[in-house]
Amino acid sequence: MPLIPGVIKMIKTDEVRIKIAIQKSGRLTEHSIELLTRCGLTYSRGRDQLICYGENMPVDILLVRDDDIPGLVQENICDLGIVGGNIIEELRLELIKKGTKRLFNVLERLNYGHCRLSFGIPENVEYIGAKTLKGKKIATTYPLIVEDYLKKQNVNATVVEFSGAVEIAPSLGKADLICDLVSSGATMKAHGLFEADTILESTATLIQSPEALSKTKKDWIKLLLQRIRGVLQVKESKYIMLHAPREALQEIRRLLPGSEAPTIIPLEGFKDKVAVHAVCRENVFWETLEELKEAGASSMLVLPVEKMLA
């Protein structure tokens, strides 16, 4: 793994700060920065553009290529990292193959960077499950994940590693089919391939170094993780206020998505009507409001939740 000079310098000069590696430029960058910012972290960017120094917490952000992140964390060069589950799984299988016991710890799956690793088959080939793959040449960036899947399916096939533009392998005659990351499916379609079985569902994931941490670092990571979980919860959560006839309360509570104990408040001047305030842990869609109205609710107001701490 290439060691970045700035990283080595930082590690030597400051042992008590937490280093978190995130993707420098790509699909996960903006969301990862946004997550840390929403956790309350303010930072200034170093002159080399590789490190962001935390100003209000001892947390520094390292901007690196996503492929380097699990290695940096596993080697304890960084304490934490945010990277796609696909890259984590490929390295996990590599470490197992090498017999390494020190794996990184997965702390939390995050709610962005959703994608799946699926087979892409030329449109003129009939797909009848994993046995279709028998004796075929499969191009992929994730050879170990694919080999692991083939082994579990008891299918013999040849896996060829491609580092990029996997989808062109069949038309170049380099492979019969591919196994690649998909989110919308448009790229496969544009290359005359259809999406067959998915072998891995992936999201951005927070990982931690396997090394024992000092008490100070442990405490900061605990706090950061608590805030991250708060941010994740809040994303979908809504605060809902409405008026309801007392006799419809049971039905209205049933309709509120993911709410535990709503607050019921008497309404001045109304004996048979109450106000209901509730935090819904899932998004509240128009359809839900329409059903609530049908059940007798009125004066409904849905507000976003800014912060949440259980």
Number of Cβ atoms within 10 Å of the Cβ of 84:
25
List the structure tokens of 162: 């491609």
Phi, psi angles (nearest 5°) of residue 179: -135, 115
Q: Residue count at the site for Zn ion (CB under 5 A)?
A: 2
Q: How many angstroms separate the CA atoms of 217 and 95, rounded?
A: 26
CB 21 within 8 A of CB 64: yes
For position 29 contacting Zn ion by CB under 5 A, the verdict is no
Least distance between ligand ATP and beta carbon 135 (Å): 28
- Contact pattern for Zn ion over residues 250 through 289, marking x by CB under 5 A: ----------------------------------------
Q: Quote the least distance from Cβ 83 to ligand ATP, whole Å.
A: 7
DSSP 308: -
Q: Which does residue 70 touch among ligand ATP, Zn ion, none (CB within 5 to 8 A, set by kind)?
A: none
Closest residue to ligand ATP: CB criterion: 84
What is the footprint of Zn ion within residues 48-77 (CB under 5 A)? 66-67
Q: In the complex, what is the shortest distance from the CB of residue 283 to ligand ATP, in angstroms, rounded to a whole number?
A: 21
Count Cβ neighbours within 10 Å for each residue of 8-47 and write b for 16 or more, e otherwise: eebeeeeeebbbbbbbeeebbeebbbebbebbebebeebe
User: Taking CB within 5 to 8 Å according to partner kind, which of ligand ATP, Zn ion, none is near residue 169?
Assistant: none
- Site residues for ligand ATP per CB under 6 A: 23, 26-28, 65-67, 84, 86-87, 113, 115, 181-183, 202
